[in-house]
Amino acid sequence: MTTLHHEHATHEHSHGPGCGHAPVEHGDHVDYAHDGHLHREHSGHWDECEPAGHVPHTGHDHAHGADCGHESVAHGDHVDYVHDGHRHAEHDGHYDDH
24 or 84: whose pLDDT is higher? 24
- pLDDT band at residue 51, thresholds of 50, 70 and 90? low
Q: How far apart are CA 85 and CA 49, in angstroms?
A: 14
Flag whether 82 is in a domain: yes
Q: How far apart are CA 17 and CA 3, in angstroms?
A: 24
Flag whether 41 is in a domain: yes
What's the Cα-to-Cα distance from 39 to each of 33, 51, 64, rounded to whole Å?
7, 12, 23
Q: How far apart are CA 78 and CA 10, in angstroms?
A: 23
Residue 69, domain extent: 6-97
Over residues 75-79, the mean pLDDT reads: 82
Specify the pLDDT at position 2: 44
Flag whether 1 is in a domain: no
Flag whether 78 is in a domain: yes
Q: Which of 2-6, 44-48, 94-98 has the lowest mean pLDDT?
A: 2-6
Flag whether 53 is in a domain: yes
37 or 32: whose pLDDT is higher? 32
Specify the pLDDT at position 21: 80
Flag whether 43 is in a domain: yes
Domain count, the chain: 1
Flag whether 30 is in a domain: yes
Flag whether 51 is in a domain: yes
